[in-house]
Amino acid sequence: MSAAAKYQEIAATLRGQIDRGELSVGDQLPTEQALQERFDASRTTVRQALKELRDAGLVQMRHGVGVFVAPPKVVRRLDSRERLSKARRNANKAAFLAEADAQGFTPSSSVKVWFEPAQDFAELFGIEEGSELCVRDRVMRADGEPVMLAVSRLPREITRGTALEEVETGPGGALARLEEQGIEITGHEEIVSARMPDANERQIFGLGGGPVLVVRRRTWSGDRVVEVNDMVMPGESYELRYAWDAV
Amino acid sequence: MSAAAKYQEIAATLRGQIDRGELSVGDQLPTEQALQERFDASRTTVRQALKELRDAGLVQMRHGVGVFVAPPKVVRRLDSRERLSKARRNANKAAFLAEADAQGFTPSSSVKVWFEPAQDFAELFGIEEGSELCVRDRVMRADGEPVMLAVSRLPREITRGTALEEVETGPGGALARLEEQGIEITGHEEIVSARMPDANERQIFGLGGGPVLVVRRRTWSGDRVVEVNDMVMPGESYELRYAWDAV
DNA sequence: GAGTGGTCTAGACCACTGA
DNA sequence: CAGTGGTCTAGACCACTCC
């Protein structure tokens, strides 16, 4: 279509109703059959419009139930600078727990810890390929819903004999344990991108076929990388916040 | 379908051929008609499979031409702190031009400028709903390819009579013009999320159907918001970089 | 003009959810 | 069970690209 396809007009109309609040969060949209009549369109066309809205993150389609205005982003991550600050660690707050506090969800997580040769990560850490890494693989949940996968890697030479090799890292989180050993955290870098989830991620995050946000964080002590944390979050329900002073 | 829908099987088969290199970058996939016969499926089903692959960023669909294996990612990297620094502005570099320099692509952009009542943005800027905003709608291109959509809004009271209301903002970019008026930039905040592109964005970015990164940047002068910039970038070809010193 | 993908129709049956 | 969305069919016409 040159001007606008019918499915786009349907999508735009519904989008407008959502934006203007005529349909508010959690409301059920008209059934597909109702939309067919209202817009004088075939079911295929109506569904194409609804898929547009789903991909845009505006609605959820629940098989056998209906189509609903999607809830707002569930987790807004705190500003990355503040959430990893020493002040927070001294207040015994691991980053994710602090967010739960601020945003009123009940946090939980499961952790697996193992050790493996550095391999491809050797160069990143500046260590031998055969040196062991401590790998902490976590699933974070908000009110029981998985909202983040995080795989954290640290050279084992700095984790040996610490709570970092245990399931519970203790108050203040992982960085607090490093500092107790005299490893001063000096800087962080996060690289953010987006991609479609693989089958495993889709299963863990459940249903929605939307994209995931992928973040790799590197943490330095001086010019030495002490932690690499690979995080995956559903893009529909997550916002990352970064703030900085003008320089 | 309980096991696997036919369109998913078709998608998986084609995905396998791409992964194994039987179809390599730039190759044309069989036409929809050929796929219908090969998989004994209706055209609708074949197209649903192809859309899956498009959303996964694996293929590009070109109207009137064919379906092709998508080219590999071109990664562009922005360090949001440095790219907006005063040092850069003093070197007469707008952020996007600086990136072009650093990464060796030829930049171009088209700009539309208009004015409109603040409406929903009034609260954000702390002004009246009827106050006018200056809206700068830009499409940024690298070597002719659109790589970013950016809609920037500023209160008209601070843009009136400046180059900010022109198509060309001049050396150092928009922030340099604000500083010339004695508006000191003190801080920035970026909120990042991801979603699937709408039909319009798909068309502009051309072909690839992967997710887009969505960034809303707010810029402050003291406790006053002076600019809100909404940016959309293809997730396949962008990485955002944020770095900060530990505090 | 020939061949491709983009949109649309009018039906059908299946799978899931909740009363 | 009734009602919802998920998948699929077999056609049709249109829009785009290239020769």
Q: Mark yes or no for CB contact A243/B195 under 8 Å.
A: no
Whether A190 and A217 have beta carbons less than 8 Å apart is answered as yes
Question: Where residue B2 falls among pLDDT bands split at 50, 70, 90?
Answer: very low
Asked if the C-beta of B43 comes within 8 angstroms of chain A's C-beta atoms, the answer is: no
Single-letter amino acid, residue B132: E
Determine the distance between A42 (CA) and D9 (C1') in angstroms: 15
Residue A98 CA to residue A100 CA, distance in Å, equals 5
C-beta separation of A213 from A233 below 8 A: yes
Take residue B214 and report the two structure tokens written for it.
């969505």
A142-154 residue pLDDT tens: 877 788 999 999 9
Count CA atoms within 13 Å of residue A234 on its CB side.
Answer: 25
Residue B229, phi then psi, degrees to nearest 5: -125, 115
Residue A72 has pLDDT above 90, yes or no: no
Q: What is the pLDDT of residues B53-73, one digit of tens each?
A: 998 888 999 989 999 998 876
Higher pLDDT: A10 or A1? It is A10
Task: Give backbone dihedrals phi and psi of B144, rounded to 5 degrees, phi first.
Answer: 85, -15
Tell me how close the Cα of B162 comes to any Cα of chain A, in angstroms.
Answer: 22
Strand C nucleotides within a 7 Å radius of protein CB atoms: 3-12, 14-18
Q: Which two tokens stand for residue A136?
A: 């902490």
- Mind listing the domains of chain A with CATH numbers? 6-69 (1.10.10.10), 75-241 (3.40.1410.10)
DSSP state letters, B18-77: HHTTSS-TTPBPPPHHHHHHHHT--HHHHHHHHHHHHHTTSEEEETTTEEEEPPPP--EE
pLDDT, residue B207, reads 58
Instruction: Look at residues B157, B32, B75, B98 and name the one whose alpha carbon lies nearest to residue A194.
Output: B75
Count Cα atoms within 13 angstroms, Cβ side, for A143: 5
Q: What pTM value is reported for the model?
A: 0.84
Residue–nucleotide distance: A50 CA to C12 C1' (Å): 21
> What is the pLDDT at residue B215?
94
The predicted structure's pLDDT at residue B5 = 85
Closest CA to B136 of B177, B79, B103, B93: B177
Considering only CA atoms, which of B243, B240, B242, B83 is closest in space to residue A220? B243
Residues B227-235, mean pLDDT to the nearest whole number: 93
Burial class of residue A2 in the structure, from the number of CB atoms within 10 Å of its CB (0-12 exposed, 13-18 middle, 19+ buried): exposed
| Burial environment of residue B37 by CB neighbours within 10 A (0 to 12, 13 to 18, 19 or more) | exposed
Q: Are strands B224-234 and B212-221 parallel, antiparallel or unpaired?
A: antiparallel
